[in-house]
Chains A and B, each alone.
Chain A
Amino acid sequence: MQREVQRVRAAFGSGRSRALAFRRRQLEALRAMVQERERDILAALAADLSRSELNGYSQEVITVLMEIDLVLERLPEWAAAKPAQKNLLTMLDEAYIQPEPLGVVLIIGAWNYPFLLIIQPLIGAIAAGNAAIVKPSEVSENTAKVLTKLLPQYLDQDLYAVVNGGVEETTELLKQRFDHILYTGNAAVGKVVMEAAAKHLTPVTLELGGKSPCYVDRDCDLDVACRRIAWGKYMNCGQMCIAPDYVLCEPSLQDAIVQKVKEAVKEFYGENIKESPDYERIINLRHFKRLRGLLEGQKIAFGGEMDEATRYIAPTILTDVDPETKVMQEEIFGPILPIVPVQSAEAATRFINEREKPLTLYVFSRNSKLIKQMIDGTSSGGVVGNDVIMHFTLSSLPFGGVGSSGMGAYHGKYSFDTFSHQRPCLLKSLRGESVNKLRYPPNSQSKVDWAKLLVLKRFSRGKLSLLLLALLGVVVAVLIKACYH
């Protein structure tokens, strides 16, 4: 592990990854990899998650391609120095913020979108000029294998490396020193990652999860709402960090919701859901058993069918769910939708606030005032009103959590910024030294007054223009003097 990290660090030390042209070439190579080896990638996703090729393409591959295109287009702009607004003391100087690479970035992926959650951060890391080590999830084995095989074939082998393994290997990896760690996964491991990072003062971006609540208001288009909720809930068999985890609604709405979700499910997956190529499977037996356990003692209004051999769990809805039961204690990450009845939007807000801050809040209502109230009254990584998931696809929005759902954000320019150090630079000249006499000891009251005036920006217009003129006069005089010196 140590040697691998050292090798990558040495490659970064060569300075090779900094030139914009180099970064472009790597990103173009990554794009070529995705386009040329699409089959292999989709086959791996199918093997890991039983995801159809079409879905694999639309959910993971296309997002990656779009991200690369965006970055290639905007990279010169993002990487350029940004001039900063100067004050009186620095009027004649050059002041700007220069984005710089951090060094060696570690990206730890998750198994639910095993390709996307490695490549999307990697795009940002490369764009920002870093070297990177990626650690795909060992749970999604096939994708890990494909990444291990393909990345070295297309990318610079010394700057970008793939490391594989389980808990033991990851623990070993985390002992090494990195310049930024981006981790996608659960809160428990997130804490372990941050603790390990603390030993080296490594900044982290933690993309965690939680239970994303979905409030359905009395005043909403229930047909549309249920369709959208069903789409977001059962996509990838519920194994999505931004899936609507549970529904909150008034008791009178429960039956209608169940009915309409049922209809949507039929529309999406047909009569025989098991046969639908668009319906995925649970990643492994451990999670299958975990999800099965969540159904114990619950009122199954719809679904509930399971097949251990294929790790199939039908789209399921639970009603009148007791908040104290297991299904409401952990992030579900499966195709089970509990409905928890609440008396009102206020009650829903209280319910949400009694719990950890979620990754996403969903609110369905025609009443925009109500939506606004719920947003104002809660906190979450992100919010979507009247739909689910879509905020993920808009790269101008930062994607990340808050509280136990995570820290930091990425996507689009946010990835670039996450993996950069924004370095403030002030370039002065050695001339004009006489002006500096104002600041040097021995001090006097007049120096104090001058200093105060120059540091503070607030004074009346009249005085300001007069002062500026006077100062400009002084500066010009001094410069002329210095030039002729």
Chain B
Amino acid sequence: MDPFADTLQRLREAFSSGRTRPAEFRAAQLEGLSRFLQENKQLLQEALAQDLHKSVFESEVSEISISQNEINLALRDLRAWMKDEKVPKNLATQLDSAFIRKEPFGLVLIIAPWNYPLNLTLTPLVGALAAGNCVVLKPSEISKNTEKILAEVLPRYLDQSCFAVVLGGPQETGQLLEHKFDYIFFTGSPRVGKIVMAAAAKHLTPVTLELGGKNPCYVDDNCDPQTVANRVAFFRYFNTGQTCVAPDYVLCSPEMQARLLPALQSAITRFYGEDPQSSPDLGRIINEKNFQRLRGLLSCGRVAIGGQSDESDRYIAPTVLVDVQETEPVMQEEIFGPILPIVNVRSLDEAIAFITRREKPLALYAFSNSSQVVKQILAQTSSGGFCGNDGFMHLTVASLPFGGVGASGMGSYHGKFSFDTFSHHRACLLRRPGLEKIYALRYPPHTPRNLRVLLMAMETRCCSCTLL
């Protein structure tokens, strides 16, 4: 029994009918998404609070407003994005029409994660819908309360002949992936990313994989420890550390560490109070499994700050670990929790060597008063994205593509990049039947003279200089 066949068939037929192509239809879908957010804000905030103990501030900033922003941008620029993109021509094609047509792929599958269950579902969805695709959405079953709203409420705002929500765990997702899609957008772990790509390979389906890794955070000796501590702490403990672009670990000298620790403690206390467990601004671990995993990591190195946990609440205190070995589990896997290990290096070069020895991360952070230091790290490393002297602010800039490289992912999105990701860029050359006498130069039988003339015509630079 294939539970998905009918749904997929229905969506494919809707796509073939051409319903999703006109700009009006796409705009209507985007407006539907907008109304979904606005009319269900309270409901969504409650769900996010239930799933992740997310504060109103975090829900607003990192889930609702950011998604709304993407919708607004798409609505504003949709028609401009949809326009055929004219391209420069060579002499041979001067009189022709040459352009790139942006077309929907067809049936798109979006697999969303649990850590930003609203944002990481809606933002890709905006791109897929704006690009004119039909969409199957597989929200994470782990963020149960948000999943419920996405499954039951969201479809009411969209044309359901072109959009479907599919539910289930790893087994159902595996079954779903056996089907053919025209594009798959996956956000999650590298381990599952490989499974998704392997499944996509069977159907030659292109993919965007937004994965993760250990995002290094280099702290130079030349900086103000309190400012750095504020920023690092804020981005580390945001969403209880369950962020793919959170600073995962700090690299700094022992001297810097000594200055950083009290500053981190000060920041944590200022943010969450003396008893972080009672702060409404600190979230909780998503589920038992991750809680146990993170609690295990608390025994790595030595706890310098925090270290408390409460199983009944899935609470883990904002924690800083020191004296951590590279071989310990906390330095082997993406932490995805409110634990910040500090690893000592004796120089910038050692830090760079440490970073480049490992998998390319999704984000890389460097803190220094010296812009030269920041630029040096930037130049000698590779990562999905980079931010100097702050945390993951770069993803708030919609004109910057958001994605990984190497093990942290492939492809990117946000803003126009989302539209382009979910579009096939079709090269079009429309010629006239006339001028055949000139084209005759290209036909056999070939002579050196014909060849010379042909070459001149194919020269790409000719239109600008050689004619002058």
Q: Which A residues are closer than 8 A to B by beta carbons?
A: 13, 15, 52, 54-55, 57-58, 62, 66, 69-70, 73, 84-87, 89-90, 93, 95, 97-98, 100, 102-103, 179, 187, 190-191, 194-195, 197-199, 201, 203, 206, 208, 220-221, 223-225, 227-228, 231, 264, 267-270, 276-279, 353, 364, 366, 368, 371, 375-377, 379-387, 390-391, 393-399, 402-404, 406-409, 421-430, 433, 436, 439-443, 445, 447-448, 451-452, 455-458
A-side interface mostly: mixed
Give Cα A55–Cα B442 distance, bound, in whole angstroms.
Answer: 10
Query: What 5 pairs between A and B have smallest CB-CB spacing?
Result: A194-B201, A424-B400, A198-B197, A441-B281, A278-B444
Of residues 209 through 258 on chain B, the ones whose CB sits less than 8 Å from some CB of chain A are 209, 211, 223-224, 226-228, 230-231, 234
Distance (whole angstroms) from the CB of A283 to the closest CB of chain B: 20
- Whether the Cβ atoms of B206 and A407 lie closer than 8 Å is yes
List 13 A-B residue pairs with CB atoms under 8 Å apart, sorted by A's residue number: A15-B380, A55-B446, A98-B378, A194-B197, A201-B409, A268-B444, A277-B445, A383-B429, A384-B429, A394-B429, A423-B405, A426-B385, A427-B389
Choose among B204, B230, B270 the residue with the greatest number of A CB atoms under 10 Å from its CB: B204
Give Cα A54–Cα B445 distance, bound, in whole angstroms.
Answer: 10
Of residues 168 through 210 on chain B, the ones whose CB sits less than 8 Å from some CB of chain A are 182, 190, 193-194, 197-198, 200-202, 204, 206, 209
User: Total contacts A to B, CB within 8 angstroms?
Assistant: 309
- Whether the Cβ atoms of A428 and B204 lie closer than 8 Å is no
Q: Which B residues are closer than 8 A to A by beta carbons?
A: 16, 18, 21, 55-57, 60-61, 65-66, 68-69, 72-73, 76, 87-90, 92-93, 98, 100-101, 103, 105-106, 182, 190, 193-194, 197-198, 200-202, 204, 206, 209, 211, 223-224, 226-228, 230-231, 234, 267, 270-273, 279-282, 356, 367-369, 371, 374-375, 378, 380, 382-390, 393-394, 396-402, 405-407, 409-412, 424-433, 436, 439, 442-448, 451, 454-455, 458-461
Q: A100-B382, A379-B426 are in contact. Are A194 and B204 (CB under 8 A)?
A: yes
A62, A208, A379, A422: the one within 8 Å of B103 (CB): A379
Residues of A within 8 Å of B460, CB to CB, are 66, 70, 395-396
Quick one: closest A residue to B382, CB to CB? A100
Give Cα A11–Cα B366 distance, bound, in whole angstroms.
Answer: 26
Give Cα A55–Cα B9 distance, bound, in whole angstroms.
Answer: 48
Residues of A within 8 Å of B398, CB to CB, are 87
Distance (whole angstroms) from the CB of B380 to the closest CB of chain A: 8
Q: A86-B397, A380-B426, A442-B273 are in contact. Are A386 and B431 (CB under 8 A)?
A: yes
Distance (whole angstroms) from the CB of B9 to the closest CB of chain A: 15
Distance (whole angstroms) from the CB of B63 to the closest CB of chain A: 11
Residues of A within 8 Å of B106, CB to CB, are 379
Residues of A within 8 Å of B76, CB to CB, are 458
Q: A424-B385, A436-B231, A458-B72 are in contact. Are A198 and B431 (CB under 8 A)?
A: no
Residues of A within 8 Å of B282, CB to CB, are 441
Q: A89-B393, A451-B57 are in contact. Are A390 and B431 (CB under 8 A)?
A: yes
Quick one: closest A residue to B66, CB to CB? A455
Give Cα A395–Cα B367 distance, bound, in whole angstroms.
Answer: 42
- Whether the Cβ atoms of A430 and B396 lie closer than 8 Å is no
- Whether the Cβ atoms of A224 and B100 lie closer than 8 Å is no
Quick one: closest A residue to B458, CB to CB? A393
Distance (whole angstroms) from the CB of B3 to the closest CB of chain A: 25
- Whether the Cβ atoms of B69 and A455 lie closer than 8 Å is yes
Distance (whole angstroms) from the CB of B338 to the closest CB of chain A: 13
- Whether the Cβ atoms of B88 and A396 lie closer than 8 Å is yes
Quick one: closest A residue to B459, CB to CB? A66
- Whether the Cβ atoms of A442 and B271 lie closer than 8 Å is yes
- Whether the Cβ atoms of B228 and A430 lie closer than 8 Å is yes
B204, B281, B410, B442: the one within 8 Å of A190 (CB): B204
Residues of B within 8 Å of A208, CB to CB, are 204
Give Cα A278–Cα B429 distance, bound, in whole angstroms.
Answer: 26
- Whether the Cβ atoms of A426 and B397 lie closer than 8 Å is yes
Residues of A within 8 Å of B103, CB to CB, are 379
Distance (whole angstroms) from the CB of B77 to the closest CB of chain A: 11
- Whether the Cβ atoms of A201 and B193 lie closer than 8 Å is yes
Distance (whole angstroms) from the CB of A27 to the closest CB of chain B: 16
Quick one: closest B residue to A193, CB to CB? B201
- Whether the Cβ atoms of B445 and A421 lie closer than 8 Å is no
